[in-house]
A and B are shown apart, each in its own frame.
Chain A
Amino acid sequence: GGIITQTPKFLIGQEGQKLTLKCQQNFNHDTMYWYRQDSGKGLRLIYYSITENDLQKGDLSEGYDASREKKSSFSLTVTSAQKNEMAVFLCASSPGTGGPYEQYFGPGTRLTVL
């Protein structure tokens, strides 16, 4: 088995601040994802990466940057935090994109912007 680790678990920022969230997986999976979940709602895809140094925009990429410098890690940056923003950011990984692969999710990073 493997595990996905997200850091930090809780992130409090100020309006306009640049904030970085980190994700590590030890499944040796090729594909990694960042999703955003607002309270009581489903997940929305921000970015995904099918291999090291690859980045693909999802439906919600505006206001975010991502980085995949190693196969095992995928970082997400909120470029300018919005006041009163509250959401959970979930990282996931899967073996690839060619088959009906399941995605494995981390526990999430909870963001609060004051």
Chain B
Amino acid sequence: LAKTTQPPSMEAYEGQEVNVSCSHTNIATSEYIYWYRQVPHQGPQFIIQGYKDYVVNEVASLFISADRKLSTLSLPWVSLRDAAVYYCIVTPLGGSGNKLIFGTGTLLSVKP
């Protein structure tokens, strides 16, 4: 499974756009990229997933570089409720039950 590298922490002000980067230089052709976030005392929550190019949903957008070694999660107009740990996960389909390997993530702090 590809290893991921994220910044340990980030800060932003309410209303700002936040971009969280994730490096996965050894990503395999069978692997997808997932982003989850976790607020204290709750389980992780799925944000978005993608394989290549650009994916957008009602919560966030995900840009994946052409060589798929770097992905960037973009959160528009963050609020205090977006303060959480953000996890970038790379995992292959099928095998091992789609096991998710969580690293230590990026702690996003949001200031009013």
Using CB atoms and an 8 Å cutoff, list the residues of chain A in contact with chain B.
4, 31, 33, 35, 37, 40-45, 48, 50, 56, 58, 90, 92, 94, 97-108
Contact = CB atoms under 8 A, between A and B. Distances in A.
24 contacts: A31-B98, A33-B97, A37-B102, A42-B104, A42-B105, A44-B102, A45-B99, A48-B96, A50-B97, A56-B96, A90-B43, A92-B43, A97-B94, A97-B95, A98-B93, A100-B51, A100-B93, A102-B34, A102-B46, A102-B49, A103-B46, A104-B46, A106-B43, A108-B43
Contacts of B87: 42
Interface of B: 32, 34, 41-46, 49, 51, 87, 93-105
A90 B49 CA distance: 21
Nearest to A50: B97
Nearest to A32: B97
Contacts of B94: 97-98
A98 B100 CA distance: 14
Nearest to A33: B97
Contacts of A104: 46
For the complex of A and B, 4 pairs with smallest distance between CB atoms = A105-B43, A42-B102, A102-B46, A43-B102
